[in-house]
Amino acid sequence: MRMLMTAMLGFIALGVFLEPLQAAGPAPGNSVPNILVLLGDDWRWDSLGCAGSPVVKTPHLDRLAADGLRFTQCRVTTSICAVSRATILTGQHMARHTIDRFGKAIPPDAWKMTYPAQLRAAGYHLGFVGKYGVGKPRAEDFDFLRDYEGRHWINDSSGKQIHVTEKNTRDAMEYLQTRPKDRPFCLSVSYFAPHAEDRAPEQYLPQPMSAKWYEGVTIPTGELVSEAAFRALPPFLADEANEGRIRWRKRFDTPAKYQQFMTNYFRLISEVDDSIGRLITELKNQGIYENTLILFTGDNGYFHGERGLADKWYPYEEALRVPLIIHDPRIPASMRGQTRDEMVLNLDIAPTLVAAAQRPIPSVMQGNDLAALYSIPSNMRWRQEFYYQHPTISSKTRIPSSEAVVTRQAKLIRYPEWNYEQLFDLCRDPHELRNLISEAGVRLQREALEAALTRLRREAE
């Protein structure tokens, strides 16, 4: 514990962890790369074959990771769809972009500082397909816009039923095939899957074609699908009126339901992977794959029944960590296929894309250019801590607000509406089961984390 406290105080003393970062050089054979942003909904970090999942089938994303870089410690600064998507667009914390509820749009003046607007100003042809999720998108902000979400099966323009993932694919293919060929492009494909269809009893409604991929497969339960993990929750999260508990009962309260819902959830993931494979094939057929920056990530993590919870919202690793794969023409051959364990955030996506377009990163963006991690030489210090925040949704009983400071060694969580705190030693207790907040001997560590929380909150604002 003494070593842990010493390390923590050393990190806090650093104050700022990032040296000024320089963008990597232009893509070979062109001044700027094309950009394809792929966003999965409710897709946590370990739901990939290349991340070690023994059952989920993601061969196309696995190959993309083998041809690029996979970041194993990517997290979100708010684990709910609308807020996280606003952070991805703006490169800002919720406290700065102020999108703290569903239906709230980014104002026009603030939109000018988002990555899509910055790339369009740089001459990129701009496309968006799928779930926008931050209010209603404005048609004038895009050259090609198809936005829709909420259901797995929808009607196409002819009135025939089509799965939302198949529609995502067809719309993205239409964009790639009809875009102007004399300009760089940025296409954002924002899949609704594998998000649950919340009002449907089945919750996850995949396409028939994916059934064969999971025939005879039994989905294993994780270590935290346990009574002990449930008992370690704050009492208000364990309350049956909490939304995480309500959705757990819908999906996971019997072994048979767990198998049914998790199998269909993974089928939705594999269908998105198949879609991504088709888009990558189109890039290769057009001869532009090697000059296209492809970024795949999720908008937040997801509880697979761990801790007796479903969905996201709370600052535990299951909800915070998301996948991040980057295929960038500028990645040196010697680095391709590697994994990186730097603490990267969804805050970093917007500045990374803006810098790739050789635009100055707007001062309002709070993230950093990830290309600095694969530039040569690369000897800067990277962040060792970050600030997490989440708004109240409906009420403190349903989904309470929370905030946290997360370091490599420890996590301090606060639920201000309940006057409740948790402190975890992530080195000795990576599953976050033993709350140290009231234990003797952690006073200095707690004070250091409280000071970091105050400082990072101010910086976020």
pLDDT at 156: 84
Q: What is the mean pLDDT of residues 293-300?
A: 98
| Pair 392, 374 in one domain | no
- CATH at 7: 3.30.1120
Q: What is the mean pLDDT of residues 223-242?
A: 96
Q: Give a three-class secondary structure readout of 306-347.
A: HHHCEECCCCCHHHHECCEEEECCCCCHHHCCEEECCCEEHH
pLDDT at 26: 41
CA distances to 43, 78, 141 from 241, rounded to whole Å, are: 25, 22, 40
Q: What percent of the chain has pLDDT over 90?
A: 89
Q: How far apart are CA 190 and CA 200, in angstroms?
A: 21
Nearest to 122 by CA among 134, 114, 130: 114
| Pair 8, 66 in one domain | no
| Pair 379, 393 in one domain | no
| Pair 371, 428 in one domain | no
pLDDT at 315: 97
Given a cut of 50, is residue 411 above it in pLDDT? yes
Nearest to 424 by CA among 205, 232, 246: 232
- Supply the range of the domain harboring residue 310: 21-383
| Pair 12, 60 in one domain | no
In degrees, rounded to 5, the angle at the alpha carbon of residue 255 between the alpha carbons of residues 252 and 260 is: 70
| Pair 73, 9 in one domain | no
Cβ neighbours of residue 350 under 8 Å, at least 6 residues apart? 88, 89, 90, 91, 114, 115, 365, 367
pLDDT at 27: 44
Query: How many other C-beta atoms lie within 10 A of the C-beta of residue 144?
Result: 18
pLDDT at 440: 84
| Pair 429, 452 in one domain | yes
Q: Which of 356, 383, 410 is the last residue of a domain?
A: 383
| Pair 369, 407 in one domain | no
Per-residue pLDDT of 175-215, as tens digits, reads 999 999 999 999 999 999 999 999 999 999 999 999 999 99
- Give the pLDDT band (50/70/90) at residue 9: very low
pLDDT at 354: 98
| Pair 300, 216 in one domain | yes
Question: In this predicted model, which residue has the larger pLDDT, 372 or 9?
Answer: 372
pLDDT at 19: 35
Global pTM value: 0.92
Per-residue pLDDT of 48-104, as tens digits, reads 999 999 999 999 999 999 999 999 999 999 999 999 999 999 999 999 999 999 999
Per-residue pLDDT of 15-36, as tens digits, reads 333 333 333 444 444 589 999 9
Q: What is the mean pLDDT of residues 144-155?
A: 95
Q: How far apart are CA 97 and CA 111, in angstroms?
A: 10
Q: Which of 383, 409, 433 is the last residue of a domain?
A: 383
- Give the pLDDT band (50/70/90) at residue 346: very high
- CATH at 187: 3.40.720.10
- Give the pLDDT band (50/70/90) at residue 5: very low
- Give the pLDDT band (50/70/90) at residue 378: low
Kindly tell me the sign of the dihedral angle through the C-alpha atoms of 362, 176, 134, 56. negative
Q: Note every long-range contact of 104-108, with CB atoms under 8 Å and residues 24 or more positions apart, other chains counting.
A: 104/134, 104/135, 105/134, 105/135, 105/136, 106/134, 106/135, 108/138
CA distances to 73, 102, 186, 374, 380 from 340, rounded to whole Å, are: 8, 33, 25, 10, 15
- Give the pLDDT band (50/70/90) at residue 377: low
| Pair 313, 437 in one domain | no
**What is the domain count for the chain?**
2
Cβ neighbourhood burial of 1 (10 Å; 0-12, 13-18, 19+): middle
| Pair 126, 264 in one domain | yes
Q: Which of 368, 383, 398 is the last residue of a domain?
A: 383
Q: Give a three-class secondary structure readout of the chain.
A: CHHHHHHHHHHHHHCCCCCCCCCCCCCCCCCCCEEEEEEECCCCCCCCHHHCCCCCCCHHHHHHHHCCEEECCEECCCCCHHHHHHHHHHCCCHHHHCCCCCCCCCCHHHHCCCHHHHHHHCCCEEEEEECCCCCCCCHHHCCEEEECCCCCEEECCCCCEEEHHHHHHHHHHHHHHHCCCCCCEEEEEECCCCCCCCCCCCCCCCCHHHHHHHCCCCCCCCCCCCHHHHHCCCHHHHCCCCHHHHHHHHHCCCHHHHHHHHHHHHHHHHHHHHHHHHHHHHHHHCCCHHHEEEEEEECCCCEECHHHCEECCCCCHHHHECCEEEECCCCCHHHCCEEECCCEEHHHHHHHHHHHCCCCCCCCCCCCCHHHHCCCCCCCCCCCEEEEEECCECCCCCECCEEEEEECCEEEEEEHHHCEEEEEECCCCCCCCCCCCCCCCCHHHHHHHHHHHHHHHHHHC
| Pair 329, 400 in one domain | no
